[in-house]
């Protein structure tokens, strides 16, 4: 759960505990005057507490859902870009290897070209700029 949701859950629990204490105090007063608290009063009091908190919590969850939906589109675009870069790198390395296998160029040269291709990749440049994070 997100820290905000934990805080909200703790606040709701505190509110429910306060409502429970108030109901118990109310029940104790009723018992003192001879009228015990009934089940309907308990349900009504707890419903009031929950109805007070639920709209706020639902609104926050809707905002979080909207943020996640926006982030999903951005993440999918980044994934497609990374996949295209990887495919391009694989394609270039495959061609270099094929030339070496067909003896069109020496194996040492092909290996150097593969290393140069990977070192010149976008991922390598991103690593050098600000550290690569998975």
Nearest residue to 59 via CA among 4, 124, 121, 114: 4
Farthest-apart Cα atoms in the chain, separation: 103
Which pLDDT score, from 0 to 100, does residue 129 have? 62
Q: pLDDT tens string for the chain (134 positions)?
A: 566 777 888 888 888 888 778 777 776 666 555 556 677 777 777 777 777 777 777 888 889 888 888 899 888 888 888 888 888 888 888 888 888 899 898 988 888 888 888 777 665 555 556 555 54
Q: Up-side HSE of residue 68: CA atoms within 13 Å toward CB? A: 7
Question: Cα-atom radius of gyration of the chain, to the nearest Å?
Answer: 32
How many structural domains comprise the chain?
A: 1
User: Which domain range does residue 37 map to?
Assistant: 3-130
Which pLDDT score, from 0 to 100, does residue 127 have? 55
């Amino acid at each position: 759960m997100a820290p905000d949701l934990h805080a909200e859950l703790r606040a709701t629990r505190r509110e429910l505990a306060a409502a429970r204490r108030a109901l118990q105090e109310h029940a104790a007063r009723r018992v003192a005057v001879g009228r015990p608290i009934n089940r309907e009063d308990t349900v009504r009091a707890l419903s009031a507490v929950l109805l007070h908190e639920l709209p706020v919590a639902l609104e926050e969850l809707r905002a979080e859902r909207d943020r996640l939906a926006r982030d999903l589109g951005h993440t999918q675009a980044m994934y497609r870009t990374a996949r295209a870069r990887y495919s391009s790198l694989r394609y270039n390395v495959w061609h270099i290897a094929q030339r070496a296998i067909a003896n069109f160029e020496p194996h040492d040269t092909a290996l150097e070209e593969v290393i140069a291709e990977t070192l010149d990749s976008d991922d390598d440049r991103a690593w050098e700029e600000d550290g690569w994070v998975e």
